[in-house]
Amino acid sequence: MSDRILTVEGLEVSLPVPSGTLNAVQGVSFHVDRGETVCIVGESGCGKSLTALAIMDLLPRRARRVARTLTLLGDPLIGVPETKMADLRGNRMGMIFQEPMTSLNPAYTIGNQLEEALLRHRKVPRAKARERAVHLLERVGITAAGQRLRQYPHQLSGGLRQRVMIAMALMTGPDLIIADEPTTALDVTIQAQILHLLAELQREFHMGLVLITHDLGVVARIATRVVVMYAGQVVETGTAAEVFGAPRHPYTRGLLDCIPIPGKTKRGEHLGTIPGMVPSLVGQMEGCHFAGRCNYVIDECRAAPIPLVSAPGRGHAVRCIRADELSRQPAAAEEGAA
Amino acid sequence: MSTTTAMRPEPKTATLSAPPMLEAIDVTRMFMVSQGFMRAKKPLHAVNGVNLSIRQGEVVGLVGESGCGKTTLARMLLGLMPPSSGSLKIDGQPLTGMRRRDVARLVQPVFQDPYSSLNPRKSVGSIIGLPLRVQGGVGSEEEKKRVHEMMELVGLARRLFDNYPSQLSGGQRQRVAIARALINRPRMVICDEPTSALDVSVQSQILNLLQDLRRDLGLTYLLISHNLAVVEHMADRVAVMYLGRIVEQTDTDTLFRNPRHPYTEALLKSVLTPEPGLGVPDTQLGATYPNPLDMPTGCRFHPRCARRFGPCDRIVPRPLTSAAGMVECHLYDDDVKKDAAA
Ligand SMILES: Nc1ncnc2c1ncn2[C@@H]1O[C@H](COP(=O)(O)OP(=O)(O)OP(=O)(O)O)[C@@H](O)[C@H]1O
Ligand SMILES: Nc1ncnc2c1ncn2[C@@H]1O[C@H](COP(=O)(O)OP(=O)(O)O)[C@@H](O)[C@H]1O
Ligand code: SF4
Ligand code: SF4
Ligand SMILES: [Mg+2]
Ligand SMILES: [Mg+2]
């Protein structure tokens, strides 16, 4: 049990909107063990970011958050006074956002902000904090770190800022890092570098890492386990090998078919598509959330809520009543494993 | 629109001997930028001696990191910005002398961020119809009809006619941008990161749409993208740009099978295909980011190059053209290598 860093069970997030209640997260469960990278993937608007914000207790004020269990190393993250939560957040969880400029204060130097990230939570002399800042900047591949401390965020490139954000998230030596689209705004070369770095640091510091992305390529390369989200729900989860080797949910398969892969997809040919859009999450939905876009929909799909059911193999679960039958079809990827 | 496999229109022999549809000859663009309060302005060479020609019916991919000059080059090709030196030609005619409106009839842009490139205060119908009003000679009834046709062509529901950009999804916004680009039936479209802000499910729809439109309307594309997998899927030929110069240019299959420039190699390594177990490769690029205001000596890629050798920080590599395409790197320059060995 001591290896379990994060437990999320039955997480629900809803927001009042003019047209009713937006049920953004509807019973999401997953866990992160020490040394694991869990990737949450899905199209935009599926509830990935709100899931992350709910874990950190950083949701908009008017949002409602409910969970059967939400714990960090066994300590509840729900019903905790804000002072305690602020401490947990900075101290034992680190967060890295897509746009570092939103989390870096333009008025303070990099050094000041890095040091504060530690001083806010620990009684250590400023010189110690500076020492750690320099060490971590070097560790994230920033040269002339001592000089960088005196620079302001706008003086750095996007890739450098994201490295600074990673260093900042590591200042207190957290047990868990939650990174929400940390490389989406970056160049592919820099994205690869940052992900390479994150994976390395995660191993080195033996943390849990939750990486949120809409990029299945990133997920396949970095995830220990994968959580595929669709319209507020987990529709498929398993190890990277399971989910990518033998995807079972029509949504997962659909997403994979959309991606051009050099040497595999043929130039000039049509890529796969998923017709339609993520449905509005306002109000209650009957049956399968994916039914409106699924090529395999039948009447039963719309009749009742579809449960997330474990498939053969450790932890591979899927929310589709036709998963077994569809996986047997020759069109499905890699039959061999079953 | 047909959903069968797109057939590539073969360039007709006649068009091979014709002048390129669009051509950049030794084009340079310099900006004077201030480096902060009370400091002298410095020249920034955003585009620094680029040669690129695009033939009718071709899809040319342009790739490279943020800030390397792709959009600046695109803006010059669109006649939106004059080059500091060098020349641009459309159908063999100098672009500089042409009226903005006449260029717009031939070449149209689809820009990176579909949100910021659409006027938030104008309705979808009005945005798509704007180029018609600019060119003039079209009544409001005719405009409405053409806009409806265009919306159908790009797969936008008619009911969105009176909506505003903020009410649309990213994919719908990009369709609006494509409809606006095509309404005057241009021959060429310059797509600057047309899908980088989109989900893969929407990206694939837009890429399929671009393929269909190309086939049905005989379009020529310059496709600018960070995403090499997208470029591999769409382009016949690829130009790789680094700090203002094209450092490698060849047909797509050759580039992907046998990348020659070390920067191209790093770019290809960065393509993260959804194949579990492969991990995230080390691109070997180091954390030195390119700074166009502080251009390295010799080969501008040398501070990040894992294969640099003797002359790289002193001698500027020259373009080397062969059957395998064009590359600017000393590794392929026998004269430089001989001198280095001596
Ligand atoms: N109007 C301008 N004034 C000053 N500098 C500019 C201007 N436009 C572009 N630049 C600079 O020229 C260089 C090339 O910019 P450009 O926008 O062409 O890059 P890009 O390759 O399109 O990048 P991205 O991938 O981020 O879109 C950059 O260093 C940029 O900051
Ligand atoms: N502050 C907010 N107010 C109202 N709705 C929101 C807010 N934040 C997110 N949403 C909505 O909640 C849903 C899930 O959003 P989000 O978690 O940001 O998705 P993702 O990160 O997967 O793209 C979307 O429908 C989104 O529009
Ligand atoms: S339950 Fe039905 S509609 Fe939903 S994914 Fe499975 S087959 Fe498709
Ligand atoms: S010229 Fe030298 S530094 Fe430049 S790319 Fe070639 S090997 Fe690398
Ligand atoms: Mg998000
Ligand atoms: Mg650009």
B94: domain CATH number? 3.40.50.300
> Quick check: A271 and B271 CB within 8 A?
no
Contact yes or no for B304/B290 (Cβ under 8 A): yes
Residues B265 and B225 in one domain: no
Please tell me the distance in Å from A301's CA to the nearest CA on chain B: 22
Q: By the CB < 8 Å criterion, does A220 face chain B?
A: yes
Three-class DSSP category at A39:
strand
Contact yes or no for A34/A175 (Cβ under 8 A): yes
Ligand nearest to the CA of B73: 1
CA of A35 relative to ligand 6 center, distance in Å:
38
> Quick check: B285 and A43 CB within 8 A?
no
Q: What is the pLDDT of residue B2?
A: 41
Residues B329 and B188 in one domain: no
Residues B176 and B31 in one domain: yes
CA of A48 relative to ligand 5 center, distance in Å:
6
Which tokens is A139 given?
Answer: 């560790």
Contact yes or no for B207/A271 (Cβ under 8 A): yes
| Residue A117, C-beta contacts closer than 8 angstroms, at least 6 positions apart | A90, A168, A171, A172
**What pTM value is reported for the model?**
0.88
In a domain, B277, yes or no: no
Q: What is the pLDDT of residue B16?
A: 52
Could you tell me the residue range of the domain that residue B23 belongs to?
A: 19-242
pLDDT digits (tens, 9 = 90+) for B203-239: 898 899 999 999 999 999 999 998 899 999 999 999 9
Mean pLDDT within B114-126: 85
Q: By the CB < 8 Å criterion, does A240 face chain B?
A: yes
Share of chain A above pLDDT 90, in %: 67
pLDDT digits (tens, 9 = 90+) for B64-79: 988 899 999 999 999 9
pLDDT band at B251 (very low <50, low <70, confident <90, very high): very high
State which residue of chain A sits closest to B290, comparing Cα positions: A157
Q: Which of B204, B219, B252, B291 to mutate to test the interface with A (most CBs of A within 10 A)?
A: B204
In a domain, B13, yes or no: no
| Residue A253, C-beta contacts closer than 8 angstroms, at least 6 positions apart | A247, A332, A333
CATH of domain A4-92+173-336: 3.40.50.300
Task: Check pocket membership of A288 for ligand 3, CB cut-off 6 A.
Answer: yes
Q: For residues B41 and B127, which has the higher predicted lDDT (pLDDT)?
A: B127
Highest mean pLDDT (candidates A320-334, B283-297, B311-325): B311-325
Residues B199 and B234 in one domain: yes
Is the pLDDT assigned to residue B11 strictly greater than 70?
no
Which tokens is B8 given?
Answer: 């590539």
pLDDT digits (tens, 9 = 90+) for A222-263: 999 999 999 999 999 999 999 999 999 999 999 999 999 998
Tell me how far CA of residue A201 lies from CA of A126, A170, A262, in angstroms. Answer: 24, 9, 30
In a domain, B14, yes or no: no
Average pLDDT for chain B:
89
Is the pLDDT assigned to residue B288 strictly greater than 90?
no
Burial A59-89 (b: 16+ CB within 10 A, else e): beeebebebeebbbbeeebbebeeeebeebb
User: What is A105-156 written as a DSSP string?
Assistant: -TTS-HHHHHHHHHHTTS---HHHHHHHHHHHHHHTT-SSHHHHTTS-GGGS
Burial class (CB in 10 A: 0-12, 13-18, 19+), A304: exposed
Does the model's ipTM exceed the 0.90 cut? no
Is the pLDDT assigned to residue A191 strictly greater than 60?
yes
Q: What is the pLDDT of residue B342?
A: 78
Residues B215 and B89 in one domain: yes
Q: By the CB < 8 Å criterion, does A256 face chain B?
A: yes
In a domain, B138, yes or no: yes
CATH 3.40.50.300 boundaries in chain A: 4-92+173-336
Residues B205 and B331 in one domain: no
Which tokens is A63 given?
Answer: 């949002």
In a domain, B10, yes or no: no
- How do beta strands A317-318 and B107-110 pair? unpaired
Alpha helix ranges (H) inside chain B: 13-17, 70-77, 100-106, 124-135, 140-153, 170-182, 200-217, 228-234, 252-257, 262-269, 334-341
In a domain, B327, yes or no: yes
Contact yes or no for A156/A143 (Cβ under 8 A): no
Contact yes or no for A250/A49 (Cβ under 8 A): no
